[in-house]
Amino acid sequence: MAVQTLTNKSHYQITRQLCWAFFLISTISCTANNSTNTPSPTLKDAFRGQFLIGIAVNERQFTEADPKAVQLITNNFNSISPENVLKWQSVHPSPETYTFDMADKFVEFGLKHNMVIIGHTLVWHHQTPLWVFQNEKGEKVDRETLIARMRDHIHTVVGRYKGKIKGWDVVNEALNENGQLRRSRWLEIIGPDYIKLAFKFAHEADPDVELYYNDYSIENEPKRRGAIEIVKSLKAEGIRIDAVGMQGHYLMNWPTLQQIENTINDFKKLGVKVMITELDIDVLPRVEGHLGGGDIRTIRITDPQRWHELDPYPDGLPEEKQDALAQRYAELFKVFLKHHDTISRVTFWGLTDGESWLNYNPVPGRHNHPLLFDRQYKPKKAYYAIIRAAQEFESSQKNKDK
Ligand code: GLA
């Protein structure tokens, strides 16, 4: 009898354990299935409490024409930026026409999925139609006309999304590499105070919206000095500026982690937040004549041998390069995590490698691999590496608190 009871009991225990194991396996595989094989925790969960994890989205994604992408985006990211649809040429293509169809859909997508919505961008030298700077005869407009156009544009666009968009890249890329103001049409026609005016108009249009200055390569000291001057001069006049966006179009060996830390610290001292706004890592060989960062010039290559050298991974990134990319991403995120009190958001410039602008810039037609998801929408080693960095950071914080 006693033996019988024992046997029954152990049988019961084994059955229970088996059931439990079965439950765990089915739960894990369910989680994986539900999230297109994204493991748990997802990016936004891993970084919760540190900073927002954002993504620049394109039309196929925010109109939900690409359901696989939508699933990855909503699982992993809690902030969105528009890749193109809020740029001047998209929303205000001619003097009397504002076209908000796509921009509205972008904002609806963010609201529907409870994401922090970022506006990009109001005043820039690029992707801004020529009519903005010219009269009907094609002559350069005067300062007052351009200021009035800028004011109308900013009031209309910022005003439309008042209370929905959390913050705007008000001015994009106003600086040269040497830290002086870029000789854009904005500077030529209005003068250096065009930056202050843009921030002032944005604040008038939505007094609650956050305002950012956004640029690339400000990790390099001369250019950073220019960005510091911009922040200081806005603050000196009591004009709102909440954060500086470091675009984060990085290379495997530039910038150094030290340059990044110095940049974060310099802006922290000025009392503004820092955002990494357009993160990607170019893994292809450099092309002579290209400045890197957000330099948008196109270089065409006709020599087949040179092409082969410049496009070495058309069939996928080799394992050792995946490892190196994962390590580079992990190192960057360790720095971002260390400065989580200053960094409020890290946004990737695109979801999958296949859609990255780096396949077209500076050399159109190459196969770059700069992001966290490959051309088949599969998370790369870099994806897991930054989640691990977040987990390690969290447990080191807990140990500190003990
Ligand atoms: C710059 C701009 C972005 C985008 C990228 C490249 O960094 O700020 O809007 O155009 O270049 O795609």
Please spell the DSSP secondary structure of 126-161, one letter per residue: SS--GGGGB-TTSPBPPHHHHHHHHHHHHHHHHHHT
- Ligand 1 atom nearest residue 357's Cα: 12
The H-assigned helical ranges of 139-285 are 143-160, 185-190, 194-205, 221-236, 257-269
User: What is the spatial distance between Cα 94 and Cα 115, in angstroms, rounded to a whole number?
Assistant: 31
For residue 192, give both structure tokens.
């250096």
pTM across the whole model: 0.90
159 and 117 in a single domain? The answer is yes
Residue 5 has pLDDT above 50, yes or no: no
User: What is the spatial distance between Cα 340 and Cα 338, in angstroms, rounded to a whole number?
Assistant: 6
pLDDT digits (tens, 9 = 90+) for 242-290: 999 999 999 999 999 999 999 999 999 999 999 999 999 999 999 887 7
Give the list of residues 6+ apart from residue 238 with CB closer than 8 angstroms, or none. none
**Parallel, antiparallel, or unpaired: how do β-strands 165-172 and 243-246 relate?**
unpaired
Contact of 73 with 36, CB cutoff 8 Å: no
Given pLDDT bands bounded at 50, 70 and 90, which one contains residue 25? very low
For residue 88, give both structure tokens.
């001047």
Q: Is 61 in the pocket of ligand 1 (CB under 6 A)?
A: no
**Dihedral sign from CA coordinates of 189, 191, 126, 237:** negative
Instruction: Give the residue whose CA is nearest to atom 8 of ligand 1.
Output: 172
| Distance (Å) from CA 169 to ligand 1 centroid | 12
Instruction: Considering only residues 371 and 296, tell me which one the structure prediction assigns the higher pLDDT.
Output: 371
11 and 142 in a single domain? The answer is no
Q: One of 83, 173, 219, 355 is an active-site residue; which one?
A: 173
Contact of 382 with 325, CB cutoff 8 Å: yes
| Distance (Å) from CA 321 to ligand 1 centroid | 25
Give the list of residues 6+ apart from residue 342 with CB closer than 8 angstroms, or none. 264, 267, 268, 273, 274
Helix (H/G/I), strand (E/B), else coil: 85: coil
Q: Is 172 in the pocket of ligand 1 (CB under 6 A)?
A: yes
| Distance (Å) from CA 15 to ligand 1 centroid | 58
Q: One of 83, 210, 278, 355 is an active-site residue; which one?
A: 278
39 and 19 in a single domain? The answer is no
pLDDT digits (tens, 9 = 90+) for 54-104: 999 999 999 999 999 999 999 999 999 999 999 999 999 999 999 999 999
Contact of 299 with 352, CB cutoff 8 Å: no
User: What is the spatial distance between Cα 337 and Cα 261, in angstroms, rounded to a whole number?
Assistant: 11
Residue 38 has pLDDT above 90, yes or no: no
173 is catalytic: yes
| Distance (Å) from CA 57 to ligand 1 centroid | 12
Instruction: Give the residue whose CA is nearest to atom 5 of ligand 1.
Output: 294
Task: Name the residue type at position 158.
Answer: V
Given pLDDT bands bounded at 50, 70 and 90, which one contains residue 348? very high
Give the range of the structural domain holding residue 24, as residue numbers without chain letter: 1-30
Mean pLDDT, to the nearest integer, of 322-340? 98
14 and 79 in a single domain? The answer is no
Mean pLDDT, to the nearest integer, of 347-360? 97
Report the residue among 278, 279, 357 best suited for mutation to probe ligand 1: largest number of ligand atoms under 8 A from its CB: 278
208 and 253 in a single domain? The answer is yes
19 and 109 in a single domain? The answer is no
| Number of structural domains the chain divides into | 2
74 and 90 in a single domain? The answer is yes
13 and 46 in a single domain? The answer is no
Given pLDDT bands bounded at 50, 70 and 90, which one contains residue 294? low
Give the list of residues 6+ apart from residue 227 with CB closer than 8 angstroms, or none. 175, 179, 213, 215, 218, 244, 267
290 and 361 in a single domain? The answer is yes
| Distance (Å) from CA 296 to ligand 1 centroid | 8
Report the residue among 349, 351, 371 best suited for mutation to probe ligand 1: largest number of ligand atoms under 8 A from its CB: 349
Instruction: Give the residue whose CA is nearest to atom 7 of ligand 1.
Output: 294
For residue 303, give both structure tokens.
């020599």
Measured from the Cβ of residue 289, the count of other Cβ atoms closer than 10 Å reads 9
Q: Is 294 in the pocket of ligand 1 (CB under 6 A)?
A: yes
341 and 257 in a single domain? The answer is yes
Amino acid 400: pLDDT: 85
- Considering the chain, what is the average pLDDT of its residues? 91
Measured from the Cβ of residue 313, the count of other Cβ atoms closer than 10 Å reads 14
**Parallel, antiparallel, or unpaired: how do β-strands 343-348 and 79-82 relate?**
unpaired
For residue 125, give both structure tokens.
């030298």
- Ligand 1 atom nearest residue 172's Cα: 8
For residue 28, give both structure tokens.
């894990």
Domain containing 161 — which CATH number?
A: 3.20.20.80
95 and 58 in a single domain? The answer is yes
Report the residue among 80, 357, 358, 361 best suited for mutation to probe ligand 1: largest number of ligand atoms under 8 A from its CB: 357
User: What is the spatial distance between Cα 256 and Cα 209, in angstroms, rounded to a whole number?
Assistant: 33
6 and 119 in a single domain? The answer is no
